[in-house]
Structure 1
């Protein structure tokens, strides 16, 4: 009997070719956003505080912001990968520590109607914006706006539901989630982090080379019993 599989896919640098928040800030924000970025890179502030300060520096009308988002490039093999997921009946959720308005705009353009769990970009009128964090947690180890690891951990006192939760990602916001996921598919900084910390993972450079590796993983996971998946999946991913 097939195991239920939930797939969480990072957006910035994974689905999109570049970090879309950086692109938006470069185009529309006061240059002071770069000093905030440097403070985050030095570890002086968490990503939640960093992004809130940077978004407060945005100066863009909604139409201008949406128009810019409409031109953001994505991995050209992502649509084919999504078709693969549909064929296998896999539930896909986009899990991003970026801007929900941007991710949803890109996904609508591609005609994908999937859940997006991300930080909420709220228009304040005129050209002002505020960032809200509906998926933050006060105990998040990385002080992220979107605590991704909470999507993979089993709450205390509750039994595992038998699902297999997989992660596809590329950056720092995926580090803690990679420690919790049943299977990790990694590129960029996430792949480097997994190698350095010994987290079992499948490395990839884009959705084109990921697709056959992902299908091979599916072939190995689907016939396995639930208990074996939870205890032995990682070394086979």
Structure 2
């Protein structure tokens, strides 16, 4: 740990804390008509994350709320070592934030057993009061980002000035890469690891949270 800067963690949710991308899983399971082309355009970055995710959920009737929620809670799965990792960062008095492009109706129930304070969970909001599911965006891009992130991870990170904080990012996908550019340390897996290797960005790869605990303990001892 840096002696001068206070460490703070920004951890992705889908595919990082959970074993799969829950938005993709929802769409592939419920198959709302027209979602495939929207997903393809979003992956190809012809649509922003905010545009694509909003449009896909708008295809699902709001009356499916309980069914969609139950599906995610049944299939998501939590990555090995997450509980122990939270215990470690609490022991070390390291601030831990979940920065998720996911939606509150499944993010919050999945995280509820772990006792993470609500003010440290950043995610999008689902409105089920209309005919179809509408997604709202409480944490949009600031003036430094024009990517249409929906839940903008770099905006959250910029609240923690680089001169005061050692910013640690944990993630798995290309949606984490903009945040990785701001981070002092990157724990990566899957597509984020591939992107870091491709562009020569320093990173520590992981598969479980036990891997991250080991690296952080090693740094503490060293």
What TM-score, normalized to structure 2? 0.87
CA RMSD of aligned residues (A): 2.2
1:144 aligns with 2:149: yes
Structure 2 distance, partners of 1:174, 1:53, is 21
Aligned to 2:134, the other structure's residue is in SS state strand
1:89 aligns with 2:93: yes
Match of 2:34 in 1: 32
- Among 103, 110, 119, the alignment partner of 1:106 is 110
> Quick check: 1:119–1:146 contact (8 Å CA) kept in 2?
yes
Structure 2 distance, partners of 1:160, 1:178, is 13
Within 5 A, what are the aligned runs for 1:10-21? 10-21=12-23
1:153 aligns with 2:132: no
> Quick check: 1:119–1:135 contact (8 Å CA) kept in 2?
yes
> Quick check: 2:128–2:134 contact (8 Å CA) kept in 1?
yes
Pairwise CA distance, 1:202: 1.1
Task: Structure 2: state its 5+ residue gaps.
Answer: none
When residues 8 and 219 of structure 1 are mapped into structure 2, their CA distance, relative to the original with a 3 A threshold, is farther
- Among 53, 56, 71, the alignment partner of 2:55 is 53
When residues 151 and 40 of structure 1 are mapped into structure 2, their CA distance, relative to the original with a 3 A threshold, is same
Structure 2 distance, partners of 1:7, 1:154, is 13
Q: Which runs of 4+ in 1 moved over 4 A?
A: none
Within 5 A, what are the aligned runs for 1:41-80? 41-59=43-61, 60-71=63-74, 72-80=76-84
Cα offsets for 1:41-88 (capped at 9, x unmatched): 222111111001001012343322332232221112111111111111
> Quick check: 2:7–2:165 contact (8 Å CA) kept in 1?
yes
Structure 1 distance, partners of 2:114, 2:141, is 31
